[in-house]
Structure 1
Amino acid sequence: MTTLQRWTEIHRLAVLGQETAIARHVGDEVCEILLSRCAFAAAEAVATATLTLGANGGTLNHRGRARASTGRPRGALDDYREALRLVRRAGDRVGEARALNNMGAAFSVLGELRQALDHYGPALRIWRDLGERASESTILGNIGVAYQHLGDRKQALHHYQQALDIQQRIKDSGGVAGTLTNIGILYSDLGHQQRALDYLGQALPLHKKVGNQVGEAATVNSMGLAHGRLGDQHQALACYQLALTVQREIGDRAAEATALTNIGLAHSILGRRQEALDFYRQSLLLQRDVGDRAGEATTLTNIGLVHEEMNRPREALDNYRQALPIREEVGDRAGEVVTRYNMAGSYLLLNDLDQAISELERVVALEKEIGDPDLAQDTALLDSVREARGKAQRAAGSAPIVPG
């Protein structure tokens, strides 16, 4: 019998015997081990058993983490809110910071990024007050992720660099791996794919070394995106399939949906449009089930793009119009750029130049705000469409009048 098995048996007996103090202490230790090994279902079962003896902030935080990691962020938020109430009442500042950070992470998964930042900020202040450098670096990284999803890449990189400096100083290999992955994703979004692969390539062996399967899958998935953006869709598909296998193994349903979306994207680029739609629809069902609003908007946009490529602009617009209010609701400005740009393309197919120009004007304005690398290219497209509209209007104005 392994140490973990012995501890699990002690916990089971303590719960049966209603030995609350022992059950909580041992249960929390077991949960930490299980969560670190991505054994989320087992961790949830242990925490739920402990909670039969009464509510406890630490145990609720553990169960919330297990639920969040298996694609149930709203259920996780219920646990975190109750945990926060209990730890504040007890004056437990460490527990308070953990609950606030976990709530921020759940809001981030749901695409409610301003809410996420509102919770990360107080958690960061507590960790700094307590001198907890490792936890401070974790929060800084999470803040970076929120800013990146909001399209503020400068703020994202600023927070990632702060996190990385701390993690390297305290020799936190797992933290370094996570931050390197985030920086790689950021550079990929900025269009620097080789630089992204360099960072992701540094991160991957570190994730494997510390046994972080969630980080490993996220890194491999991001490598797939970078390869795809470099034009190598077959290599991208290999990465996505590997990530999908790991995500299904650990039960990370939100990440599974992301991998399915990316597989669909690769098939779409390779011209396999029906296969792309099949993968997108699988992803969309999962995203709606787990409450991943930001992911839902991305997948709806991708489905629209496939319809557009199949010369079905009205069906494309139906999907873009579902995606756009979600992008706006969650504050995803970079995603809003993509959806509006695609809408402009559909309007061009319908020869509706006024609507196309309206969308492109919003695209260019947003790109100026967030520093998008496609600004010059999209400004040139806007000018071209305006010129085409002007020519069409002049031609209509000079057309001969046919007598009745």
Structure 2
Amino acid sequence: MMGSAKSQWVFWCFLTKFTRYSLTLLLSAVMLADAVGATPRNGGLQIAQQPETTQQDATRAAAERVSQEGTQLYQQGTAESLRQAIGKWQEALKLWQQVDDKRWEALTLLSIGRVYSSLGEKQEALKYYNQALPIFRAVGDRGGEAITLNNIGGVYSSLGEKQEALKYYNQALPILRAVGDRGGEAISNSHFKISLHKNPCYARV
């Protein structure tokens, strides 16, 4: 039900990398806010923006908490806990959208899609992957883009649409190579070869 061990490994490696990126961005934002607050001529502006900033911080903290709850439910691996994880991540998605954090929005969409795929609801998984893909591209996250492309390819492969699957694997491979994700590259290559083996006529795609 949960897919291959290798696919899960890539997914969680990606999640770990994303968490580090987001924390770095958050720390940078805090440092910038401190610098602005230390400038006398911006004192009035800082006071005026403080309620909004406080609300943004509260919303972000809530998003992080709900996202973590979703992750814990996902890790339990039961059909019921997976459904509950989807609910938590859908709640988190709205919160990330409120604070306009595009990277976490895309990651959450990717997570929801992954659970739907694990549950066998492939069309629903595609819906979320296709929402995540343009956001990853817009923010320039090549790793997220590659994983999403690879996952879309996996969905099409499971649906028997091998030519469509190859199209997405072909997009994912060079990006995985460019970002140095050898594990993801190996998995994508494996999917690619399996599709070719089952459908030799697609070798020219």
Alignment pair present for 1:323 and 2:132: yes
Q: Give the secondary-structure state (helix, strand or coil) at the position aligned to 2:199.
A: helix
How far apart, in 1, do the equivalents of 2:101 and 2:118 lie? 26
Question: Quick one: distance in 2 between partners of 1:360 and 1:297?
Answer: 20
* Cα pair distance change 1:334/1:301, threshold 3 Å: same
Shift of 1:349: 1.9
Contact 1:253 1:286 in 2 (8 A): yes
Shift of 1:65: 7.3
Give the superposition deviation at 1:61. 4.8
Mapping for residues 205-354 of structure 1, pairs under 5 Å = 251-271=57-77, 272-354=81-163
Aligned match of 1:383 in 190, 193, 199? 193
**What are the superposed Cα offsets for residues 315-334 of structure 1, whole Å, 9 maximum, x if unpaired?**
11111111111111111111
CA deviations over 1:325-375 (Å, ceiling 9, x no partner): 111111111111221122112112211111111111211111111111312
Specify every segment of 5 or more residues in structure 1 that has no aligned partner in the other structure, as ranges.
1-34, 37-46, 48-54, 72-250, 395-404
1:58 positional shift: 4.0
CA RMSD of aligned residues (A): 3.0
Q: Given that residues 258 and 295 in structure 1 are in contact (C-alpha distance below 8 angstroms), is that contact kept between their aligned partners in structure 2?
A: no
Structure 1 residues 349 and 380, CA, compared in 2 at 3 Å: closer, same or farther? closer
Residue of structure 1 equivalent to 2:14: none
Q: Which structure is higher in RCO with an 8 Å CA cutoff and minimum separation 6?
A: 2
Q: Does 1:57 align with 2:26?
A: no
With normalisation by structure 2, the TM-score equals 0.69
Q: Deviations over 1:365-394 (max 9, x none)?
A: 11111111312232232222222221xx49
- 2:160 partner SS: coil
> 1:265 touches 1:302 (CA, 8 Å); kept in 2?
no
Q: 1:367 and 2:173 equivalent?
A: no
Give percent identity, aligned residues only.
26
CA distance in 2, matches of 1:69, 1:338: 34
Point out the structure with max Rg over C-alpha.
1
After superposition, the Cα gap between the structure-2 partners of 1:366 and 1:255, relative to the gap in structure 1 and judged at 3 Å, is: farther
Counterparts of 2:155 and 2:191, CA distance in 1:
14
**Local SS of the residue matching 1:291:** coil
Structure-2 change in CA distance of 1:252 and 1:338 (3 Å): farther
- Superposed, 1:130-279 pairs within 5 Å as 251-271=57-77, 272-279=81-88
The structure-2 alpha-carbon separation of the partners of 1:337 and 1:256, relative to structure 1 and needing over 3 Å to count, comes to farther
Alignment partner, residue 175 of structure 1: none
Letter of the aligned partner of 1:57 in structure 2? Answer: N
Letter in 2 for 1:387: H
SS in 2 for 1:263: helix
Q: Shift of the alpha carbon at 1:266?
A: 3.0
